[in-house]
């Protein structure tokens, strides 16, 4: 802050290592991050650090006992600062920014920046008779409509921007979260979650469902989901992350920057997936190296690996490599192909995404 007004805001998520620290160490870590971020403002001048953790008030005159204190206090040497305690109830500005949901934060960003879309939304308020009555009532009595608010000349409903009756604008907003690369031509549920977290209008779910069903790119590149005949025998449910994984290849792709194959690894517990582009032809040794560089270094070795009967997975090198590591290899059979079905579903989702986003320029899929 400068002269009582905020000039910058920093938000940083704690990693697993920082989450295991005590509350005192986490608060001290926050101070270190803030000073390191804005040191160009702080060098050569006296500044105050305000915190709602009372023990940090005595940081400069207390006995250093934690190893982290020895390390972090040395990084604060050379700064002229004082630590001031502020009660939590007086620290409302920081709490409001750090605890606001992501959807509401995106709404605040859209309403604070003048955009053509926001101007079109405001025009719908003037043309929609019901919204005009709501705005007029809120101006006279803010509590007249419990779920609606009129703040900074913006009409919100439960933290979402209200959009009046304008089918063309509705389709434009849906396309913004469906047709773009971040949307990836997702299905009805995912698109409705993205649009519904920011905007509200009547019969929104119905409009989104109709838009996705009528999308020409989705119709051309997606298959029809039908019930699989016969009884399935599902694999045992994993007990932890990346202890049971499945892997497969997506082949037959057009050459893009020398790559023709995608190596897919899926965690059967969390459904988290890794996608790695490969150059054809590839060998068991090169695939194992890619696996070690992209999956093993992040998650360690699994207990089991489920795969189909690709020549790479049946090779002597692959078998001996994981046998010495104590990893069980499970291969699907012609009579039980659904054991590798989860990876096939992930492959299908990735293929749908690539068709939708790079169908016009298939040689650019690796980007």
Q: DSSP secondary structure string, 228-239?
A: PPS---PPPPPS
**Total tally of structural domains belonging to the chain:** 3
CA 156 to CA 125: how far, in whole Å?
Answer: 11
* Antiparallel, parallel or unpaired: β 160-162 and 154-157: antiparallel
Whether residues 194 and 286 share a domain: the answer is: no
Whether residues 279 and 351 share a domain: the answer is: yes
Query: DSSP 3-state assignment of 297?
Result: helix
Phi-psi region of 55 (alpha: psi -120 to 50; beta: other; left: phi over 0): alpha
Domain that holds residue 24: 16-97
pLDDT (average), residues 134-146: 86
Whether residues 136 and 152 share a domain: the answer is: yes
CA 79 to CA 45: how far, in whole Å?
Answer: 8
**What residues are paired with 2 via a beta bridge?**
5
Identify which of 39-53, 101-115, 253-267 has the greatest average pLDDT: 253-267
Whether residues 248 and 360 share a domain: the answer is: yes
State the pTM of this model.
Answer: 0.52
Check which CATH number belongs to the domain holding 142 and give it.
1.10.340.70
Half-sphere exposure of 13 (CA within 13 A, CB side): 2
Q: What is the Cα gyration radius of the chain? A: 28
- Picking from 97, 127, 159, the residue at the C-terminal end of a domain is 97
Identify the pLDDT of residue 161. Answer: 87
Instruction: Please answer whether residues 307 and 340 qualify as being in contact, where contact means their C-beta atoms are separated by less than 8 angstroms.
Output: yes
> Which residues does 274 contact at the CB level (< 8 Å), separation at least 6?
264, 265, 266, 294, 295
Whether residues 217 and 140 share a domain: the answer is: yes
Q: At what angle do helices 116-127 and 102-112 cross, to 10 degrees?
A: 90
Give CA separation, 137 vs 132, 146, 147, 160, 264, in Å: 9, 11, 13, 19, 56
Whether residues 30 and 81 share a domain: the answer is: yes
- Determine how many CB atoms are found less than 10 A away from the CB of residue 346: 20
**Does residue 303 fall inside a structural domain?**
yes
Q: pLDDT confidence of 228, banded at 50, 70, 90?
A: low
Half-sphere exposure of 265 (CA within 13 A, CB side): 22
What integer best gives the mean pLDDT of the chain? 83
Which has the higher per-residue pLDDT, 63 or 224? 224
Whether residues 213 and 280 share a domain: the answer is: no
Q: Token pair 């779920």 is at which residue?
A: 147
Identify which of 27-31, 93-97, 186-190 has the greatest average pLDDT: 186-190
Q: Write out pLDDT tens, residues 247-273.
A: 999 998 999 999 999 999 999 999 999
Identify the pLDDT of residue 123. Answer: 87
**Does residue 11 fall inside a structural domain?**
no
Instruction: Please answer whether residues 225 and 352 qualify as being in contact, where contact means their C-beta atoms are separated by less than 8 angstroms.
Output: no
Tokens in use for 286? 């090169």
Instruction: Please answer whether residues 33 and 12 qualify as being in contact, where contact means their C-beta atoms are separated by less than 8 angstroms.
Output: yes
**Does residue 227 fall inside a structural domain?**
no
Query: DSSP 3-state assignment of 85?
Result: strand
CA 269 to CA 241: how far, in whole Å?
Answer: 6
Whether residues 274 and 355 share a domain: the answer is: yes
CA 347 to CA 345: how far, in whole Å?
Answer: 5
pLDDT (average), residues 335-343: 72
pLDDT (average), residues 219-246: 79
**Does residue 228 fall inside a structural domain?**
no
**Does residue 4 fall inside a structural domain?**
no
| Residue 104 confidence (pLDDT) above 70 | no
Identify the pLDDT of residue 113. Answer: 46
Whether residues 275 and 341 share a domain: the answer is: yes
Whether residues 327 and 261 share a domain: the answer is: yes
**Does residue 255 fall inside a structural domain?**
yes
Q: pLDDT confidence of 73, banded at 50, 70, 90?
A: confident
Whether residues 285 and 352 share a domain: the answer is: yes
DSSP class of 100: S
**Does residue 121 fall inside a structural domain?**
yes
- Picking from 97, 128, 147, the residue at the C-terminal end of a domain is 97
| Residue 64 confidence (pLDDT) above 70 | no
Tokens in use for 180? 């773009």
Identify the pLDDT of residue 150. Answer: 85
Check which CATH number belongs to the domain holding 360 and give it.
3.30.420.10
Identify the pLDDT of residue 291. Answer: 93
DSSP class of 353: H
**Does residue 7 fall inside a structural domain?**
no
Whether residues 197 and 271 share a domain: the answer is: no
- Picking from 97, 122, 146, the residue at the C-terminal end of a domain is 97
């Amino acid at each position: 802050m400068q002269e009582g007004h905020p000039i910058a805001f920093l938000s940083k998520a704690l990693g697993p290592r920082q989450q295991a620290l005590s509350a005192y160490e986490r608060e001290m870590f926050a101070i270190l991050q803030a000073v390191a971020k804005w040191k160009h403002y702080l060098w050569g001048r006296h500044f105050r650090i305000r915190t709602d953790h009372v023990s940090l008030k005595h940081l400069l005159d207390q006995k250093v006992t934690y190893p982290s204190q020895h390390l972090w206090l040395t990084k604060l040497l050379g700064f002229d600062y004082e630590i001031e305690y502020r009660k939590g109830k007086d620290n409302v500005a920081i709490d409001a920014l750090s605890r606001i949901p992501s959807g509401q934060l995106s709404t605040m960003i859209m309403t604070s920046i003048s955009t053509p879309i926001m101007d079109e939304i405001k025009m719908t308020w003037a043309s929609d008779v019901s919204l005009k009555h709501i705005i007029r009532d809120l101006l006279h009595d803010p509590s007249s409509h419990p779920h609606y608010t009129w703040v900074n000349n913006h009409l919100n409903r439960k933290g979402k921007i209200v959009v009046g009756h304008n089918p063309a604008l509705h389709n434009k907003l849906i396309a913004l979260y469906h047709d773009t690369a971040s949307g990836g031509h997702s299905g009805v549920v995912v698109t409705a979650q993205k649009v519904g977290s920011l905007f509200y209008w009547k019969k929104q779910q119905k409009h989104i469902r109709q838009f996705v069903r009528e999308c020409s790119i989705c119709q051309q590149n997606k298959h029809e989901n039908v019930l699989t005949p016969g009884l399935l025998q599902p694999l045992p449910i994993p007990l932890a992350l990346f202890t049971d994984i499945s892997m497969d290849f997506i082949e037959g792709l057009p050459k893009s920057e020398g790559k023709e194959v995608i190596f897919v690894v899926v965690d059967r517990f969390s459904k988290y997936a890794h996608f790695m582009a490969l150059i054809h032809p590839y060998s068991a040794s090169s695939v194992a190296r890619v696996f070690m560089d992209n999956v093993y270094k992040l998650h360690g070795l699994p207990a089991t690996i489920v795969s189909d009967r690709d020549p790479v997975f049946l090779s002597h090198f692959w078998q001996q490599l994981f046998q010495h590591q104590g990893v069980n290899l499970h291969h699907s059979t012609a009579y039980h192909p659904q054991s590798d079905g989860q990876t096939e579903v992930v492959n299908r989702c990735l293929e749908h995404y690539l068709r939708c986003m790079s169908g016009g320029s298939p040689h650019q899929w690796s980007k």
